[in-house]
Amino acid sequence: MKKKVSVILGCVLTVTSMVMCRKANNAAIDDDSNFDPRLSGGAATFFDISSSSFSTPIPGLSANDERIHELGDALFEQSFIAAPAPRFGGLGPIFNNVSCANCHHNDGFGQPSFGQLGSSLLMRISVPGTDAHGGPNPAPGFGGQLQNVGLYGVHPEVTVNLTCTEQSYTFPDGTITSLHVPSYNIVDAYMPLPAGYMTSPRLGPPVFGLGLLENIPEATILAFADPADANGDGITGHANYVYNPFTKKTELGRFGMKANTSTLQVQVATAFQQDMGLTSYVQPKKSVWGQDQMRYVSDSTATDLADTMVDAVIFYVRTLAVPAHRNVTDPQVKRGELLFKQMNCAGCHRPTMYTGVNVNFPALSNQRIHPYTDMLVHDMGAGLADNRPDYLATGTEWKTAALWGVGMFEKTNGTPYYLHDGRARTIQEAILWHGGEAQRSKDQFANLPKSDRDAVVAFLQSL
Ligand code: HEC
Ligand code: HEC
């Protein structure tokens, strides 16, 4: 969903003329006094407070690139159908949903539910051990992901039922609130599930700003890690290294809830393959390859998607802009920002870094950005654990969620959802789930007086 062309050219010019001094990775890098703090995505920032805040192309695309972005946008929205079909065929035979947009509403989070007609939640599955490349060990008969919808006449792999219970939480000051606790029940499997299987529920996350995250130099990300906790702040964090089936190399993980995918190319092609059953030059095998449902596939020789279609969608998610940081001079927002740093939320949610040089996209190149993530995985405690390892990320580890745009979820989604499975209904609930390496920060948050807790939330709402 493209929006009106941006009017921030002035800001763009200011930013590009300011990035010449790239500082080392230290506290000084967060000093915004010489910069416009609203530019969360540098030159790839867009000023729009509406339901389409996540759906705007980065400024400065050539007319031709805008057309590719628009084609990718249309394919992102497109509902695919069963083969044979003259266009947009090849869906399934089993899948999770029929379009990208059904899981990434307005390019933001999806809605956490499991339905017979498609879900934005999906369930990964594996058995103990690893595959040949150190990744999750596929479950025999099910692969790495449970497809809970089937084409007409095709039994889906499983049905997943989600139930939520309320768990009361009492702040040290006596205020009582409630947390939503999800639990999942897998029934009606088409064949017995293997012994010892492990699952991981994940909700389709926002897809904007990813070209910038793809362009952060590896050295920057690795410098955030503190595996031995040398600074004694209780936060370690480490990079995930994952297998890229296209380059056939092990690479730094950047995308997915556990940094379990290295590039947008693989992320998008694997979404087509696993979530929708559509093959491409990057992922040429049907998701049901080697399974009984392969008998429903009439032609497994040609790929379902033309190369240009996959490439356009990759281009689309690579070139979605970041919404601007708002209300930056509001005293409550400023107070919340200060507390965010004092509580060391910024120890994981790193405010500032620079992207590397990108000759193809000036708006992504050499930008000072504020994603509020370190791109590393951290132990987040038992409450959030899925207990299913994913490459080097353990069953308690998750990638630090980028917080840019987190204040726009109500606008983009209507009802907002937070965290890897969408369990949190408010920003405060999301914070209260933090444990493990984030326990200290979370305890400090809980101990704040209510007005300060509100200030922290107000700060996050301004991102
Ligand atoms: C059934 C729901 C579903 C569908 C359909 C779906 N996605 Fe996703 N998407 C997810 C989930 C869940 C994740 C997180 C995956 C993980 O943790 O490995 C994700 C992750 C992503 C990411 C990485 C985001 C990040 O910040 O790491 C991108 C990009 C993406 N999807 C693009 C797409 C595209 C393009 C399509 C259509 C071809 C698509 N998705 C279809 C659910 C879905
Ligand atoms: C040890 C690292 C760490 C620290 C410290 C930390 N976080 Fe997080 N944060 C994460 C991770 C990892 C996630 C994603 C967890 C998940 O999806 O289950 C997350 C998710 C969030 C989310 C939800 C974002 C979304 O898109 O769903 C918010 C809001 C948040 N953190 C705010 C905070 C605040 C405020 C603090 C300080 C009180 C804080 N975090 C401290 C690692 C951390």
Once rounded to an integer, what is the mean pLDDT over residues 261-280? 98
Q: How far apart are CA 372 and CA 336, in angstroms?
A: 14
Closest ligand relative to 102 C-alpha: 1
What is the Å distance from ligand 2's center to 431 Cα? 6
CA distances from 368 to 1, 16, 39, 292, 359 (A): 26, 9, 8, 50, 16
What is the Å distance from ligand 1's center to 68 Cα? 20
Residue reference for tokens 């998008």: 268
- Per-residue pLDDT of 179-212, as tens digits, reads 999 999 999 999 999 999 999 999 999 999 999 9
In percent, the amount of the chain with pLDDT more than 70 equals 94
Specify the pLDDT at position 6.
Answer: 38
Residue 344: exposed, middle, or buried by beta-carbon count in 10 A (0-12, 13-18, 19+)? middle
CA distances from 258 to 102, 135, 341, 386 (A): 22, 12, 24, 11
Index of the ligand 2 atom closest to the CA of residue 257? 17
Return the higher-pLDDT residue of 118 and 134. 134
Residue reference for tokens 């740093």: 341
With CA atoms as reference, report the closest residue to 195 among 143, 126, 147.
Answer: 126
Nearest CA to ligand 1 atom 42: 204
The answer to whether 462 and 351 are in contact (CB under 8 A) is no
Work out whether the CA dihedral 366, 368, 370, 376 comes out positive or negative. positive
Q: How far apart are CA 432 and CA 457, in angstroms?
A: 12
- Per-residue pLDDT of 30-59, as tens digits, reads 888 899 999 999 999 999 888 999 999 999
Specify the pLDDT at position 36.
Answer: 95
Among 76, 96, 157, 207, the mutation site with the greatest number of ligand 1 atoms within 8 A of its Cβ is 207
Average pLDDT, rounded, for the chain: 93
Nearest CA to ligand 1 atom 6: 100
Specify the pLDDT at position 19.
Answer: 39
- Per-residue pLDDT of 282-340, as tens digits, reads 999 999 999 999 999 987 788 999 999 999 999 999 999 999 999 999 999 999 999 99
pLDDT band at 28 (very low <50, low <70, confident <90, very high): confident
Index of the ligand 1 atom closest to the CA of residue 268? 35
Pocket of ligand 2 (CB under 6 A): 235, 340, 343-345, 347-349, 378, 380, 384, 398-401, 403, 406, 418-420, 427, 430-431, 434, 437-438, 441-442, 445, 456, 460
Closest ligand relative to 444 C-alpha: 2
Once rounded to an integer, what is the mean pLDDT over residues 67-82? 98
Q: Indicate if ligand 1 lies below 6 Å from the C-beta of 419.
A: no
Token duo for residue 41: 């995505």
Q: Indicate if ligand 1 lies below 6 Å from the C-beta of 120.
A: yes
Nearest CA to ligand 1 atom 15: 256
The answer to whether 279 and 273 are in contact (CB under 8 A) is yes
Token duo for residue 190: 């088409």
Among 400, 418, 445, the mutation site with the greatest number of ligand 2 atoms within 8 A of its Cβ is 400
Q: Indicate if ligand 1 lies below 6 Å from the C-beta of 210.
A: yes
Index of the ligand 2 atom closest to the CA of residue 397? 12
What is the Å distance from ligand 1's center to 352 Cα? 25
With CA atoms as reference, report the closest residue to 443 among 179, 234, 227, 237.
Answer: 234
Taking the alpha carbons at both ends of the chain, their separation in whole angstroms is 21
The answer to whether 215 and 358 are in contact (CB under 8 A) is yes
Is a pLDDT exceeding 80 seen at residue 273?
A: yes
Is a pLDDT exceeding 50 seen at residue 132?
A: yes
Closest ligand relative to 453 C-alpha: 2
Backbone region of residue 84 per phi and psi (left: phi > 0; alpha: psi in -120 to 50; beta: other values): beta
Residue reference for tokens 């089937």: 150
What is the Å distance from ligand 1's center to 110 Cα? 10
What is the Å distance from ligand 1's center to 180 Cα? 23
Q: What angle is formed at CA 361 by the lines to CA 360 and CA 363, rounded to 5 degrees? A: 160
With CA atoms as reference, report the closest residue to 233 among 342, 382, 383.
Answer: 342
- Per-residue pLDDT of 139-195, as tens digits, reads 999 999 999 999 999 999 999 999 999 999 999 999 999 999 999 999 999 999 999
Q: How far apart are CA 304 and CA 90, in angstroms?
A: 5
Among 202, 229, 335, 349, the mutation site with the greatest number of ligand 2 atoms within 8 A of its Cβ is 349
Once rounded to an integer, what is the mean pLDDT over residues 403-430? 96
Nearest CA to ligand 2 atom 9: 400
What is the Å distance from ligand 1's center to 274 Cα? 10
Index of the ligand 2 atom closest to the CA of residue 441? 38
Q: Indicate if ligand 1 lies below 6 Å from the C-beta of 96.
A: yes
Token duo for residue 172: 């040290």
What is the Å distance from ligand 2's center to 350 Cα? 11
The answer to whether 377 and 260 are in contact (CB under 8 A) is no
Q: Indicate if ligand 1 lies below 6 Å from the C-beta of 319.
A: no
The answer to whether 445 and 138 are in contact (CB under 8 A) is no
Closest ligand relative to 269 C-alpha: 1
Token duo for residue 211: 């070209």
Among 80, 94, 104, 257, the mutation site with the greatest number of ligand 1 atoms within 8 A of its Cβ is 104
Radius of gyration of the chain (CA): 22
The answer to whether 287 and 274 are in contact (CB under 8 A) is yes
